[in-house]
Structure 1
Amino acid sequence: MTEDELEQALRETFTRRVAVARPLAADPAGLAIRRADRARRRRTLAGVALAAVATVGVSTGIAQLGQQPGRPSHPTVVLGDPYASPLPDPTPALSVAPPNDVGRGEVDLILGAVLATASGQRLTLPDVGPAERAQRLPDGAGWAVVGAPTAAGRSLWVVLPHGAAHLLLAGARDIALSRDGRQVAWREGAELVAAGIVGTQVVAAARTPVPAGAVPVGFAGDAVLVRLDADQPGHALWRPARGPLKGGGDRATLRVYGTRPDGVVVAQVSAGTPRRPCLALLDPTRDLAPVRTGCGPTPSADGRGGVSADGRWLLVNGRAGGVDRALLVDLDRLGPTTTIRPAGPPVHGPVAWTPEGTAHYADALAGLVRIDVSRVLAGEEASGVPVAGLGDGQRPVPVGGGS
């Protein structure tokens, strides 16, 4: 091969090598993609691990909550602040009540859509609707107002001193409040719910399944008093901290009027021979076993009445001398020879006792009755006084609780 031919062959070899695209030993784009894939896989694995840890933690927490009796299993019908409705500022004068209004200066009154305070203020309650009962909240925090029953159920409102109304509960079948206004219980579907009231919020709700006819009727300390069946005697105590409601041994209690400050329940029971309605004090620490029973004049089946703030007096509907009356009972002397005094016309609606020991309620004619214990003991019966500012079919609703 000549020198010229060798040079030509070398040139052709180099030309072919240049024309062939050889892969790079290191591909930057591929390397970046592979690194990104690896990082993504690491983050995914880490996320899965964290999720697993969180799931275990939450599951453990749920298991622990499940082991703690009385914990809620699903949301309640609590509404709270989103439904707050600012109302007009209260006017300084109480213009709806006449000067001879027997409740003025002692108890607050709900007169239709107006809350007339004992101090002379007037708060308009356009959103609250007809009120079934109300009570003052502790420390001057306002009022708890339970609405009258409707097709949708009952409602619970908190009205603040400056006039703002906050809807706490709606659609509840029955609502019971504790004496101090710090606890509430209500029937919701097939469950009974108990919770605390803090400001304008319902907190720490606990639930328990209950029989179809069971409803809350009050509190004995931290325990909820439950009537098991509206058509049968018998009540039970539900202590949310101890678990679900259990039927107690009480099959004699017909009605509950309230509790004394020590938690003793004041009730109407079926007792005596032959069996008849009597009054009794029940011990909440012994499944509502009777402590004392008095079978004097027969208390009415309507169950209307109320216990005084100090727990000594019961004002209750009954019969005396063959006539329906509101009767005054000295609970400290309840027994076989209980003395019961006629006090006034029959009670219609709630009874509100003042801390000073006077009782107020509405009579059948929408008059307001004031019961002074000392006058009743002296043989004087009270009568109703008309109240201005009420519409047709309305009655004044006296507000219970301390100031």
Structure 2
Amino acid sequence: MLSSIAAPMVNQSDLPFRVLVQRYGATLAYTQMLNSDALLGDQDYLGFHLRDLTMEPSSPERPVVVQLCGNDAETIVRAGKKIQNYCQGIGAGDQLARYLHKRLNNFDKDLNLGCPQQSALEAHFGAYLLGQKDWPLVEEIVSAMHNSFTVPVSTKLRLVEPAPKTLDLGQRLEGCGASWLTLHARTVSARRRRHGAADLSQVKRLKDNLRVPVVSNGNVRVWDDLAENLRYTGADGLMVGETLLGNPCLFANQVPDPVTISLEYIAICREYPETAPLTVITTHVKHFIDFQCRRRPWHNKFRTSLGACKTLDDIERLLRVKVERWRGRAPRTVDADADDGDFDEENQPGEAVEDFGSLFLE
């Protein structure tokens, strides 16, 4: 079985979404990138993320990696100690998990060297620490985390420029105590961060030359891409990001009915209240529907109606009544969703199959 990892995504790796993807085959899920300064200086920020980490009881079935960002070793260490007792470790069950299970206790920490967002550029963290002039700082941070926490440290990075230098950085991170590395094999760009295919040869190069496990991130749009990526790179695990936003059931080799999966996500949000703001919930539902239906003639009406929703009830009513009618189906009642997990209704009359594979590119 593959190590199937849900990537950290800004404002999209909320607890309900992590629960959803882990129901459908993700063996590990990351939190979004947490700002170390905010964890220390903003009680509301800290409280929100502690609620995110504690509302779902820790269990090997739903392990989570907390991802930290920052550019100061002492600050990152202090922030990590604020939350380290609330993160679940990696359970056994696949190659990467078996390896990590021997080395992890109750949680793990990840340093983000891959975030391409404009905020990372402005604050000088994430992928904007990949320049060689910053390598001593990166080594200081990873070493400090490794020596300060009672658990291992991992790192997520993008390609260094020139790309062959990525191995040099990977070897340095390994030497500083990183327990595994994830490579999103593209160079950093805040404006065009998924432009072009990922260079999986660089993932293979890391795997062939490092002793620690290597996770591959990039070029996954459909189920068959998972096995092809693993075959070519030899990686110990596969991380998927934006493709999961459209199809959270990718790791289960299923394409869910978009309304059904939206309602399932909303039900999880109700189970874990105040862990996902309405704006985040709305964005997830938009992705679920867009993934298969964005070329439908009613799609613009859906986007407008979704934007006008003020509550979870509003979103649910839109899905159950309007969207189903636009799809040529009868409105759903609450009782009608007893079989929400059954995706056999995908191709009922009134709904044509969409060529959705091109909508997302990892």
Report if TM-score (shorter chain) is over 0.5.
no
Which has the larger helix fraction?
A: 2
Give the TM-score of the pair, scaled to structure 1. Answer: 0.27
Give the TM-score of the pair, scaled to structure 2. Answer: 0.29
